[in-house]
Structure 1
Amino acid sequence: MFIPPEISALLDDVHAVVVQGPPGIGRTSLLRHAADTADGAVVLTAEGVETEAGLPFAALHRLLMPLSERMSSLPERQAATLARLMAGEAPAGFPLGVAVVELLTRTSRRQPVLCCVDDVHLVDDSSRDVLAFVARRIATESIRMLFTMPDDRPPLPGLPSVTLPGVDAGELLAGTVPADVAAAIGRGCAGNPRAIEELTRTLSADQRNGRAPLPETLPLYSRVRREYDERLARLPVAARRLLLLVAADEHVDVRTLGRVASAAGGDLSALAPAEAAGLVHEVDGAVRFRFPLLRGAVYRAASDEDRRAAHRLLADVLAESTGADPRAEAHLRLRHAWHVAALAPPHPGEPSAARKLAHAADAVRRNGDHAAASEAVERVAELTRQPEDRAAHLLTAAQDAWLAGRPHRAGVLLARLRPPHPETALLGFRDLLRGEIELRTGAPTTAQELLLAAADRLGEPHRTDAMIALIHASEVDFVSGDRRRYLRTLHRVIALRRGDESGAAELMFEFCTGMAATFERRHADATAPLRRVLELSTRHDDPTLLSWAALTACVLGQEDAALGLAVRARASAQVRGEIAALPRTFELSTYAQLWLGRHAGAASTADEGLALARSLGQPGSASFQLASLALLAVPRGDEPTCVVRARAAIAEADDRGPGMSVAMANWALGALDLTVGRTAEAMARLRVLVTASGRSHPLVRMMAAPHFVEAALRCGDREAAATVGGYFDAWAGATGSPAPMALAARCRALVATDPGVAEENYREAMRLHRLGRHEFERARTELLYGHELRRRRGASAAREVLHDALDTFRQLEAEPWARACQGELRATGEDARPASAPTPDLTPQQLRIARFAAQGATNREIAAQLYLSVRTVDHHMRNIFVRLGVRSRVELVRRLS
């Protein structure tokens, strides 16, 4: 079972904790996992049973039974108290609590103790009071107490509590349904593993393949649904009435909902029991169901008359509402039009309700709310008589759904699209959208077929859209490294050039021209058009165009520009509400930071991008980020992380065929072999990546070339090193960028047979590294240069360079390279300056947090860096201060230094 880092950290740092969560979230599984992994510990278990809730001390009796033979060794009074408990009598609470504390403490001196109490809310009151008393008093690290209870019950007083989050549906359903379907199931079930399993079991073939909508509720036999239905049944009538209003419109803000409740003869406070029961909560100023599929259950359980009454009431109140700003006003107008349309039965003609709803959808779309626009336009399609108009509305609704990050919904809408005339351009736009969705979420070969068909159908009348389709189609070959097919598609785009292009079209033509020259190894010819792309990008804010420009900057070796463009693309996508474009911007940011040597930033971006890609059902992007994380583990020599991430990247990309992510993952494994000294294995793995005949990717071929040069030389193959170094030198020189030019100079130094030439190139490499600000690669060059100096000019010449490299490696926590540097320094006859000893008494997580704090980061900033909650960081900081005996951050800085 996967335990989130935040919960794992809390379980490690506290002696007792209450784990809460909704039905089916995995509370019992967490306790089983804790018990199964508690090697060498005494595991005591108990669970709340309703039939025993009236029996005093029944649960405590069950918990302590395995320790009954040890009770006689306690002091006489405590032993007698526990003997009465085990005999079925009811001793006084306080003496019993003290006796249990003593029993657990003495037991823990021999071996650790883990107490797991499931469903503690069902435990008899006497046992629960004693367990809470004991949990507040255990003071030894050898005792742990874990309690579980639902999220609708107050936790045990005086004890920390944590809410168990949902799981990643993509991982849970991997290989059973497409990624976008898994993401949609995960959203509907709020990551609830039991609900995901129960819902998936009921799906039809069309639902599994994304051709039909998913169920709006869980099946009747569902255990999760049954438990939620029981919570609903316990609510007062007034709360259930308000829940129907929430089910009819989750997008109405709290203020407006309060007015609706007042118009219905009540007030918003009637929702308090539903909130206490864990059914609803406030999110972004609106009341939402905590378990999304509960909305459909509440709405469908109401009668037609009650549903229409709810829509009528909402429409009346919204008609009189005004927004605080134009954006809010547009949202209110859409909600009003939505409820009016919900009351309008479908009939021939173009109803007034549909026209108003379409206008309202246009307004919120301009504000970037594509999700709301998609729902509205789908309803417009249902109210539209003309088949061609209905098909156009469905296409617009699908486009909005895709941009909002809902590929499954977009696919379902496209499956309903039936243009009346097969020759219509609508089919071209349909295939363009289907192809783009498939490119990000499905099979690349299928995507390419759809995109090429779209370009054919759109043709000259829709030339710009045809170009977009072709460039997307070419991406399949770019990622897979199929140079011939990639060039064929690029030249097909270039052939469409007329000379009177719009700014966007001009950028696309220059992009294709420059990329074609690059892949034809005409690097000098590629520079001008690629730089023109960067110039034109300053005039646009379209995320797709900016992403192509960021890729262009990467090809040019201008990583600073690439990072800036990727950040611009991300900001633009967020402002425009184009959520589906975000994973691509994270990929480009990660790539740029990798090249810049900003390892911490790259790791943070990759983690965030990975989570986003999985939530949106984009496995290709997830694979790229996993490969990047594998590469980032290499400098630290973190072999387990590198291998796990690389294998995961390859597995994630498995259905999509070999491509850039797979090449990057194998590059990470080859670089790891080089780092830990497996030189022959490194050369063999890297040779496949850097030779033209190997199954690689052109960009990875360049990125991995410096590693191969070094591995080949260590294996004595100077000819291979010189050949690969030569074509890397040609590419780096064409970019004019310091970072690749520094690596090219290092490669020339390594293969040089003349000591003077080698030294000249090493010095040039270090000069360029400083311009490019790539600290890790600069230190790598200094280590190699130091080794060369020691061999050719003596120990004294090498020491200063080696010390500089060692300081950098230590700062970056690149332990394998620091050890290599220390070895070189010992070879000069000098002991390396010792590194600062690790701070004692802190766990690794606490040490990471302490270092961030010592650098001046706030608790909120630390939480963002380590993907923890602020509350967890606060807890860690208190423990850090206690363990180190400091009272302020100033003292913490002194202690760490």
Structure 2
Amino acid sequence: MLIPPEISARLDDVHAVVVQGPPGIGRTSLLRQVAATADGSEVLTAEGVETETGLRFAALHRLLMPLADRIPSLPKRPAATLARMMAGDAPAGLPLGVAVLELLTRAARRQPVRCCVDDVHLVDDASRDVLAFVARRIASEPITMLFTMPDDRPPLPGLPSATLPGVDAVQFLAGTVPADVAAAIGRGCGGNPRAIEELTRTLSADQRDGRAPLPETLPLYGRVRREYDARLARLPVAARRLLLLVAADEQVDVRTLGRAAAAAGGDLSALAPAEAAGLVHEADGSMRFRFPLLRGAVYHAASDDDRRAAHRLLADVLAGEPAGADLRAEARRHLRRAWHLAALTPPPPDGPTAAGRTKADVGNGGGSADGERGAVAEELTRAAEVVRGNGDHAAASEAVERAAELTANPDDKAEHLLAAARDAWLAGRPHRAGVLLARLRPPHPEAALLGFRDLLRGEIALRTGTPTAAQELLLAAADRLGEPHRTAAMIALIHASEVDFVSGDERRYLRTLHRVIALRRGDESGAAELMFEFCTGMAATFERRHADAVAPLRRVLELSTQHHDPTLLSWAALTACILGQEDTALGLSVRARASAQVRGEIAALPRTFELSTYAQLWLGRHAGATSTADEGLALARSLGQPGSASFQLASLALLAVPRGDEPTCVVRARAAIAEADDRGPGMSVAMAHWALGALDLTVGRTTEAMARLRVLVTASGRSHPLVRMMAAPHFVEAALRYGDRGAAATVGGHFDAWANATGSPAPMALAARCRALVASDPAVAEENYREAMRLHRLGRHEFERARTELLYAHELRRRRGAPAAREVLHDALDTFRQLEAEPWVRACQGELRATGEDVRPERAHRPDLTPQQLRIARFAAQGATNREIAAQLYLSVRTVDHHMRNIFVRLGVRSRVELVRRLS
């Protein structure tokens, strides 16, 4: 396993840390990796062994054995103390701690020392006391001490602790199960690698393919399950009773749980041992299991009678609670009560049992009359509709699925299952949605319900599965929906066209767009009008009729002000990108993200992050784009959306180019290509190759840059139409350095036509720069350089403006002498320094030296903070709140919170007042 960034950062900040985590999370693997990567260091290891916990200094003896031959070289007293300890004559107290510290300090003078102690909770008390004593006293010495222990034990006193995070299940299981199945396994296992392995080994073929529900508990005889069962067995009876209430409903808030505990003659404080054991914790006002699959284990371990009693108690308590003023909370309370009533109601004869219910539950449940089932199903459906309107699609999905199980009518059952699947998809649970859709079998094959089913299946496959399969489903959905459901048919066709847009198949893309345009009638709704204008503008763009594309695309932007649907806003943001209006695109993508969050449409979020990253990249806001891409990548992987993950990886590769960060660029580009491998070549792959070509150009590998970029910008090359335009300015430079002025002029001319058609300053500035580069007349070149810089100022792309200034200054120095170039070079140098674009800083300094100016490197302003942390710290020092900083840098508030904590640690400050003083 790789060392998680959280742990690496912690080790950078302190010399000793206690790493904790649940069973199977990889504590031992972490220590092995730390030891394996300790090049040039003396590595000392020990581990707690249960049979040696009664042997004083057994672990310390094991740890110091590699240094035993150095003990005689110590001063007399520490040498004698350590010799006695190693011989088994165990002294205690301060002298031994001082002696061990002396030995490690002297060893560290030769080479850094890493001490790795696994399962320190099983280490004998005497060794643990000495190790903690030493760990609290290492300061400036090159000594690192890393201890591991489970999360149900208190950390060593006086030492910082860190929790080992889970793995990314999508990457961990890559190539073994589909991405959406891997994401669902990862959520159920809490990212625990051993649990993921144990669970995956037990899956059936249908479960692996996403056609059947995943297990609700871990394998009974798996190691992780045994360790958790042991923790459960150690709990008092009162705690186990309350855990069953939590297992019956994790969505009930803590106050309701407390009332239920009191009604049962207990108290919520009885859960304290379960919290201390790392089994449950409070989150979002509810009590949740730290290990999600533990919920099923607790629930199914209880008897049928105990489960029914738990549901009945919670239903009664929820019914007896007074109505509150918070409408959302009231809707949630009604839904939870209906859920528990449904758990007490058996399904129709021969119907499926509910998740979490056994056949014994069915036989012993409440009355079996159809009227009772119908009433409960109707109450669930009404409650689900309310919480759905509040954006809680996960709760609505569970409720409607249970309503389907209680419904005997096949048509109603099918509609309930489709609604439950749609809610599951919107809530970011594609695997659950797929399982529900697999159960959906309308009684009438010609029903429009099949069209809506295929539309949803196609949308899910588009984001999580194979694009070609998605396109087949979406086209079939459009055919089934037809004129009676024209808007839904349009949506299906636009989603189907996205497959060709991403893959770069222009012919098929245009064919599908024209199918949409043919559906236009006249009197359209606002949403339909936006979609028609979008398709009309995109068709003109891909037919190279750039002038004809501008009017309909601008109409899309006008219409977008009237809508809040995240999908429509995302299409509008893409439109703004096509028009070269990145500021507008960024604003629309942020609106789309906010709308998706408010509406609970989690599945739509990765697309909004893609568009935000793209816009910020083109605006030259590299720090903001990097943070957005990092956050979008993590989200896409957690939701099982590999296409979005591939796009963000390619963007991160591009963002590494201005910094000249070759390792990051290459690793990210290769990862983007690998992530998109089974989805076929597309925009992400083209962007990754563009990043590698731009990197070659940046570091001076002209031949390699020319070869890579030529494939991307020529119509016959395996590229993507948008990347063809975006990479054109890089190709013009590479071709001119290579000596192929004709190719540079041809590609520059194509780019010029597109840029001028958009009317946007940013692409027009790049087009003017390309014209200046290929111009043979010095006067024409200078005119175009000046025009490019004027447009750059309007477009506010600082990095590209500085690049243009550098190129212009080089031309000025060659044709008009050094004095004319210096002022332009200084402007460019200041910008590159501000953006930490080191290769371009060096290029500017080289040009300045060529003018005869003595250039000295600038001293770093704050070497103990990263560039991103320094920006955030400066905003904070000016009095900005975390939310204001997030808005300014286009980051999430959570990301800013994380950076602020690290800033305080790195600078050694405890308040914003101290931060101001430290930065002064």
CA deviation profile, 1:72-104 (whole Å, cap 9, x unmatched)? 222222222222212222312222111111111
Q: CA deviation at 1:728?
A: 0.8
Post-superposition Cα deviations, 1:379-432, rounded to whole Å, max 9, x if no partner, equal 011101011211111110000000000000000000111111110011100000
Q: Secondary structure at the match of 2:110?
A: coil
The answer to whether structure 1 residue 9 and structure 2 residue 9 are counterparts is yes
Out of 840, 853, 859, the residue aligned to residue 873 of structure 2 is: 853
**Separation (CA, whole Å) in 2 of partners of 1:855 and 1:679:** 40
Q: Equivalences for 1:634-673 in 2 at 5 Å?
A: 634-673=657-696
Whether the aligned pair in 2 keeps the contact of 1:854 and 1:892 (CA below 8 Å) is: no
| Structure 2 Cα separation of the partners of residues 148 and 866 of structure 1 | 29
After superposition, residues 319-358 of structure 1 pair within 5 angstroms as 319-321=319-321, 322-347=323-348, 349=370, 351-358=374-381
Q: Partners of 1:889 and 1:261 in 2: how far apart?
A: 46
Contact 2:311 2:344 in 1 (8 A): yes
Deviations 1:341-382 (A, max 9, x none): 100011264521111111111110010000000000110111
Instruction: List aligned pairs for 1:12-23, cutoff 5 A.
Output: 12-23=12-23
Matched, 1:501 2:524: yes
Q: Does 1:382 align with 2:427?
A: no
1:875 paired with 2:905, answer yes
Alignment deviations for residues 556-606 of structure 1 (CA, whole Å, 9 cap, x no partner): 111111111111110110000000000000111111111111111111111
User: What is the rounded CA distance, in whole Å, between the counterparts of 2:123 and 2:151 in structure 1?
Assistant: 16
Q: Which amino acid aligns with 2:673?
A: I
Query: Match of 2:222?
Result: 222
RMSD: 1.8
The alpha carbon displacement at 1:12 in A equals 2.1
1:546 paired to 2:563: no
Secondary structure at the residue paired with 1:44?
strand
Alignment of 1:342-421 (within 5 A): 342-347=343-348, 349=370, 351-421=374-444
DSSP-derived class of the 2:608 partner: helix
Cα distance in 2 for residues equivalent to 1:643 and 1:64? 42
Q: Write the deviation string for residues 141-195 of structure 1: whole angstroms up to 9, x where unpaired.
A: 3211111111111111111111111110011011111110110011001101111
Larger deviation: 105-114 or 406-415?
Answer: 105-114
Matched, 1:688 2:711: yes
Residue-pair matches, total: 887
Separation in 2, partners of 1:168, 1:209: 19
> Quick check: 367-376 or 11-20, which moved more?
11-20
| Identity in percent | 83
> Normalising by structure 1, what TM-score?
0.97
Q: Quick one: which of 817, 829, 838 aligns to 2:860?
A: 838
SS of residue paired to 2:445? coil
Aligned to 2:193: 193
Residue 212 of structure 2 aligns to a residue whose secondary structure is coil
CA displacement at 1:871 relative to structure 2? 4.4
Query: Could you tell me which amino acid in structure 2 is paired with residue 325 of structure 1?
Result: D
- CA apart distance, 1:776: 0.6
TM-fit CA distance, 1:54: 1.4
Q: Is the 8 A contact 1:846 1:880 kept in 2?
A: no
> Aligned runs of 1:877-896 on 2, under 5 Å?
877-878=907-908, 888-894=914-920
Write the distance in 2 (CA, Å) between the matches of 1:154 and 1:15.
20
Task: Note if 1:482 corresponds to 2:502.
Answer: no
Q: Is the 8 A contact 1:5 1:868 kept in 2?
A: no
Measured in 1, the distance between the counterparts of 2:52 and 2:881 equals 45
CA deviation map 1:189-231 (0-9, x unaligned): 1101111111111111111110011111110121111110000
Worse-superposed segment, 468-477 or 214-223: 214-223
Q: Is the 8 A contact 2:907 2:918 kept in 1?
A: no
CA distance in 1, matches of 2:233, 2:463: 43
Residue deviations 1:228-267 (CA, integer Å, cap 9, x gap):
0000000000000000000000000001100000001101
One-letter amino acid matched to 1:307 = R
Query: Is the CA contact (8 Å cut-off) linking 2:872 and 2:900 kept in structure 1?
Result: no
Q: CA deviation at 1:114?
A: 1.4
CA distance in 2, matches of 1:336, 1:216: 23
Is 1:209 the counterpart of 2:235? The answer is no
Match of 2:782 in 1: 759
1:606-621 to structure 2, matched below 5 A, reads: 606-621=629-644
> Equivalents in 1 of 2:732, 2:897: separation in Å?
38
User: Aligned partners of 2:313, 2:896: CA distance in 1, in Å?
Assistant: 46
- The yes-or-no answer on 1:624 pairing with 2:644 is no
1:274 aligns with 2:291: no
Letter in 2 for 1:892: R
Q: After alignment, is 321-330 or 74-83 more displaced?
A: 74-83
Q: Do the aligned partners of 2:869 and 2:900 also contact (CA within 8 Å) in 1? A: no
Describe the SS at the equivalent of 2:162: strand
Task: State the one-letter code of the partner of 1:853.
Answer: A
Displacement of 1:864:
5.2
Distance 2:802 2:610 in 1: 26
Alignment partners' CA distance in 2, 1:521 and 1:715: 28
Write the distance in 1 (CA, Å) between the matches of 2:539 and 2:403: 44
Q: CA deviation at 1:888?
A: 4.5
SS at match of 1:109: helix
Q: Distance in 2 between matches of 1:317 and 1:821?
A: 72
Report the more deviating stretch, 134-143 or 549-558. Answer: 134-143
1:678 aligned partner? 701
| Alpha-carbon spacing, 1:869–1:234, altered in 2? closer, same or farther (3 Å) | farther
Deviation at 1:698, TM superposition (A): 1.0
Deviation for aligned residue 1:839: 5.7
- Contact in 1 for aligned 2:3/2:34 (Cα 8 Å): no
Residues 601 and 642 from structure 1, CA distance in 2 versus in 1: closer, same or farther, beyond 3 angstroms?
Answer: same
Q: Secondary structure of the equivalent of 2:282?
A: strand
1:288 paired residue number: 288
CA distance in 2, matches of 1:558, 1:109: 58
Does residue 1:510 correspond to 2:533, yes or no? yes
* Rounded Cα–Cα distance in structure 1 between residues aligned with 2:621 and 2:767: 20
2 CA distance for matches of 1:870 and 1:777?
30
Cα drift, residue 870 of structure 1: 5.0
Q: Which amino acid aligns with 1:698?
A: P
Query: Residue 866 of structure 1: CA displacement?
Result: 7.3
- Does the 8 Å contact 2:904/2:910 carry over to 1? no
In the TM superposition, 1:415-430 aligns within 5 A as 415-430=438-453
SS at match of 2:908: helix
- Following the alignment from structure 1 to structure 2, what is the Cα–Cα distance between the partners of residues 108 and 871? 30
Counterpart of 2:363? none
Distance 1:402 1:864, change over 3 A: closer
Distance 1:140 1:774 in 2: 44
Cα separation, 1, equivalents of 2:325 and 2:31: 49
Residue 2 of structure 1: how far off its partner (Å): 2.0
Residue range with higher mean Cα deviation, 76-85 or 694-703? 76-85
The answer (yes or no) to whether the contact 2:873–2:900 under 8 Å persists in 1 is no
* Aligned counterpart, 1:110: 110
Contiguous gaps of at least 5 residues in structure 1:
none
TM-score normalised over the length of structure 2:
0.94
Distance 1:128 1:225 in 2: 29
Q: For residue 362 of structure 2, what is the aligned residue in structure 1?
A: none
Change (3 A) 1:888 1:869: closer
In the alignment, the residues of structure 2 paired with residue 874 and residue 820 of structure 1 have an alpha-carbon distance, to the nearest angstrom, of 35
